[in-house]
Structure 1
Amino acid sequence: MSHDLPDLIAKGIRDIPDFPRPGVMFKDITPLLADPEGFAAVVAAIAERHAGDRVDAVAGLEARGFILAAPVALALGAAFVPVRKAGKLPARTLSASYDLEYGTATVEMHADALPAGGRVLVVDDVLATGGTARAAVDLVRRAGGNVVGFSVLLELGFLKGREKLTDVELHALSVV
């Protein structure tokens, strides 16, 4: 049964109240990932949006961003570069820290992950407050890459994460 993309996305994301802590409404994408038609449509939509950008690498943010970024990289004929939580990558890394509601967090990528001047698309599942997104963009640039765009499945517009990415072409398949 064929659906349009907004319908597939809306049906494929469920709200989980009070996860991971009280007051948070978690956006669970696993139903969308379990739907081959929906998953394929999301990957195709992100890849099609950036097909003309001559992407050399797709950087995916841990953990759910990996799930989308890897097949987008394949669709674009590009390398996949993981951006991970601190301490998870085995070789020399670059790191960037960002603020959380209570404290800070750090993400890393391999220092040699990108060729100088490489054209990089950054992909994640959800854009919330923008801290992780900003850190990932900064890491790509510090590694010598040029960010050609930042794509997400879902943007939580009310959290204003977009405001931290005004220097990047941001594309969300869905905004709530």
Structure 2
Amino acid sequence: MVKRILQNWRKAEKGQSLVEFAIILPLLVLLLTLPVDYFCYIKTKMILSSAASESIGQLNYASVSSGNAENDIKKTMEDYCGDRLVTDKVYISFNKKNQEKKDYTYYVYSSALADKPDYGDKFEKRASNYQCMEVQVQFSYEMSPVTYWGVSFLGDPFYVITPVYKRNIYVDGYTP
């Protein structure tokens, strides 16, 4: 009885479509589920990068010099992405460098040089300087994959890490 059914399937090639389906199904599942984890990774990286950029943009020298910079960064990050990420899983790396003095030249229109024929010669060069400090911020976030394939390809857990964002913070103006 079973032998006859199998022979009929073989003659009608119904078994071939079943085998093809069994071969293709895992590939379809892989192709449809793997992008879910990569989408979650990319979305989290974009959110963290925007939060890191916003956080370093809001820093000022008073915050850095008083030692509250990390708290201010965390508060800005929570305001910016607290509803989209678990903020307890965000690790903040903050570094500051020493103050440095930067010299520059600026030009001032001089009435004493007003009779010069060339317009560019009517300006006096004056030296000036300012002091600034470089600060750096980087966020990392611990994340677990959603699908089995994500565990295989990305690991469990894996970390989403932003680039290091750098910014010079103005400290003081002209010093003779």
Q: Using structure 1 for the length normalisation, give the TM-score.
A: 0.23
Higher relative contact order (CA 8 A, sep 6+): 2
Larger radius of gyration: 2
Decide which structure has greater strand share: 1
